[in-house]
Structures are given as C-alpha cells and as structure tokens.
A and B are shown apart, each in its own frame.
Chain A
C-alpha cells in the first residue's frame, strides 16, 4: 500500500510509515458467495507464499458481542446501530488491519465500510454524515463487488437457512409487515446503494451468478495485475 491514504481526515496518532501489505475488500449481499470467494482466495494466496489475515464485520473484541446482544433484542435505534458498527470497524482497523498491513500481510476484508454505509443510507442516514463518519477508513488497494439479483438471493437464502433473517429482511425499518416482501424491497434498496457506490469508489464488478470457480479466476487475474 505504501503510505496510507484515507477517505477523509484519517486517524489520530497513526504514524507515517510504509504499509507494505495489501488491503483487498470483497463486498456483496448476504448469500452473494462472498465467504466462498474469500476462502478460495486465501488458499491461493497462501499457496503462492503470501501471509494472509482476515477481517470482516462484527468481529471486534470491543463491541462485536454488544452488537450481537443488541440485535437479539430488536430494540435498537438507527444511529446507535450505525455507531456501534462504526466502533466495531474502527477497532478492527486499528488493532488488526493496520498492524497486519504494516507487517506485510495481505488483508482480506469480508465487507468494509461500504456495506455499513449502504445499510445506513437505506435507513435514511444522509450520505454527507456517513462519508464524514467513515473518513477514518483507509482506501483499499482493491474492492471487489459481487452482484447478485435479489430474487436469486432469496432462493439462496432459503436453500442455505431455510428461512429469512429478520435483519437481512430489513424488518426493523418497517418496509412491509410481510417479511417476504420486506426482504425483496430491502435487498433491492441495498443493491441500489452499492451500485451507486460502485461507480464512486471504483469497485471491480463480479457477476455473482456465475459459478464460483469462474468468479475466482477473475479475482485472481485482477490481483495479479497489481502485484
């Protein structure tokens, strides 16, 4: 990465040093095939002799559990949820991602601030507020975005879990009393937000309907081009 560049004001007390690692992000909806791609990519990178570290959402030691606990109760304000996720991301960033990048690791991030911004935007947070809030996030070397039709996500969700998830259906924002309908509306709104960001932030688009190996080949091809 070299010197870090940030989307906004950056982080206080981050030393001006060389970050020799690479930050690679994979974005996409739940059931878009993200984790499969991350796993395949990791295997390949390690086989090639790279040290790999991973990151994602809701994995921080600091508030990962708090978010889990809060979501169970279903009584969480929109701003609270967004700030808790921001806290979670900041903690992983400073305690895990940056140290790994400094040590020369390739960090694979299973989702990044874009998913958080998309979710909040659907919940009516202003884009100005969100951009400023996440101004402490470094610009990754590459952002892949797995695009999948909401109708296909619906099938996959049923195949995988047998049921729809409360939060993945956006039930907290009362789009529809019917969970099935809510899922369809919510996922389309999310996809729309990510599509807008794709242009603004230069995402590399991947067709999530293709078979996983074909998708993986395309990711590797892109990564080889930056090495």
Chain B
C-alpha cells in the first residue's frame, strides 16, 4: 500500500490491526490487549469497522432495507473507513498513539472480493491508507465461527451470511459458502501482507499471551511513551 500523505509528517504512532472472519475471537483478543496496554500507561486509541458517526446510520438503514449492491456495499464501507481514517486514525498516529483497529482495509479486500468486486479496484479505493505495523489474522474453521455466532446471538445476520449474493436460501449454508470465500481471500493475503496468523481455536489465555509477546517484541521495544506517562501523571495530579 502506498500513501503520498504517509511520508509528509511525523508519524510517531503505531498501528496494530486484528482481522478474521466473524466469530474468530479477534475482538475479544484486541480488547484484552487494549486493557493490558492501558494498564501500562501507553497512549492507546481504539477504532472499529463500520463505526463512523457520519456514515454508520446510513449503512445500517441501507442494509436493513436491502438497498446495497456489491459496489455500493463496498463504497459505503470505504466512506465509513475514510471518515474514521481522516478524522481519527491518522491524527492519532501522528500524535504518537498506538492505534488498535478491529478490522482494517483487509476486511474490505476479503469481503468485497468475495462479493465479486474487482480485486484491483478495491485495493485502489483504499490505497490512501497506511500499512499497519502489525496485523494479527485469527484463523478458525468456518464451523467453529458458526457455532460461536449462533451460540452468542442465536441468529446469523443477513450480510454476514452473504445472503445478498443468493448463494443459498438457507442462512447457515449461505454463511458457510460466503465465509468460505472470505476466508480464502484472507488466506491468500496472509503471507503477502505479513499477517501474524493466530490459531483462533486455542484458549483465550493462550492466544493473549502470544499476542502480548509479539506486541512487546515488534512494537513496544522501540516505542517511547515517556512523555505520555508524564502527561498522564500531571492529569492525575490535577484531577486527584
């Protein structure tokens, strides 16, 4: 990924991303990582897919009314991403935060291509986004993901199952087919994009230990947060 802007100003921050199918356990792991970093007084900023204040309500409505095609589905999500990227992710990176992103451009690459959008086209749309310093990919068999989702909310969402693609009238079958395609795209990116592949079937504790070790070695060793710690203690002094 190229970005003209990337070289323009000081980027002292770090970008850590988690990716994987729905039900892969990535959000849980990122949450635990966030707690751990915050506990150590690192400057942390968290952002998740599809959460721009501006765009989100429109996407929600569009999904509900089934108004989206593969092209508009992709563009809507890219608008949401761009809004968060320009307003929050980039400024935090420039300010020296560790930005934790629950899904990033790779989600679009996997899902939109699974929806038959052109491979190069999707990559071009997101080419303004900087490359993460570290990307964890949580790999689980589709059946495990399916089991976790149905256990948690007893139903599969329409778009999560790729029902819009009319692969099958049965939501479970459609989920298997669609998420199978998504998984194939993730696997395809895995080595090219330097993903750290996590075995999502391991225990939560085990996975978190591995994650923390990798984050320590690859991100924290050369990350200086002294000024932030000083700033935090001043804030506490004043409010305390």
Contact = CB atoms under 8 A, between A and B. Distances in A.
A121 interface: no
Given A13-B70, A66-B54, A77-B85, A90 B120 contact: no
Contacts of B58: 62-63, 65-66
B140 to A, nearest CB: 28
Contact of B79 (A10, A84, A95): A84
A79 B86 contact: yes
B67 A12 contact: no
Given A12-B71, A13-B70, A83 B78 contact: yes
Given A69-B54, A80-B54, A87 B72 contact: yes
A133 B124 CA distance: 7
Contacts of A136: 71, 121
Interface of B: 4, 54-55, 58, 62, 67-72, 75-76, 78-79, 82-83, 85-87, 115-118, 120-121, 124-125, 127-128
A12 B54 contact: no
Interface string A81-112: 00110110011001100000000000000000
**What interface size band does chain A fall in?**
20 to 34
A8 B122 CA distance: 13
Contact of A87 (B75, B86, B87): B75
A9 B71 CA distance: 12
| Interface SS majority for chain B | helix
A186 B55 CA distance: 27
Contacts of A9: 118, 120-121
8 contacts: A8-B121, A12-B117, A13-B69, A62-B76, A79-B82, A80-B79, A80-B83, A83-B75
A14 B144 CA distance: 35
B86 A80 contact: yes
B64 to A, nearest CB: 12
Interface in A63-77: 63, 65-66, 69-70, 75-77
B83 A77 contact: yes
B69 A94 contact: yes
A42 B67 CA distance: 28
B107 to A, nearest CB: 16
Given A12-B116, A66-B55, A83 B72 contact: no
Interface of A: 8-13, 61-63, 65-66, 69-70, 75-80, 83-84, 86-87, 90-91, 94-95, 126, 129, 132-133, 135-136
A129 B124 contact: yes
Contacts of B120: 9, 132
A87 B121 contact: no
B118 A80 contact: no
Interface centre among B71, B72, B125 (most CB of A within 10 A): B72
A83 B79 contact: yes
Listed from nearest, the 8 A-B pairs whose CB atoms lie closest are A77-B86, A87-B75, A12-B116, A132-B124, A9-B118, A80-B82, A79-B82, A83-B79
Contacts of A12: 69-71, 115-118
Given A90-B75, A132-B120, A70 B54 contact: yes
A25 B110 CA distance: 35
B135 to A, nearest CB: 21
A84 B54 CA distance: 11
Contacts of A132: 120-121, 124
Contacts of B128: 79, 129
A102 to B, nearest CB: 15
Contacts of A77: 82-83, 85-87
A12 B54 CA distance: 27
A77 B83 CA distance: 7
Contacts of A129: 124, 127-128
A83 to B, nearest CB: 4
B67 A91 contact: yes
Contacts of B125: 83, 133
Contacts of B118: 9-10, 12, 135
Contact of A90 (B4, B54, B72, B115): B72
Contacts of A95: 67
Contacts of B4: 126
Contact of B72 (A8, A66, A69, A94): A94
B54 to A, nearest CB: 6
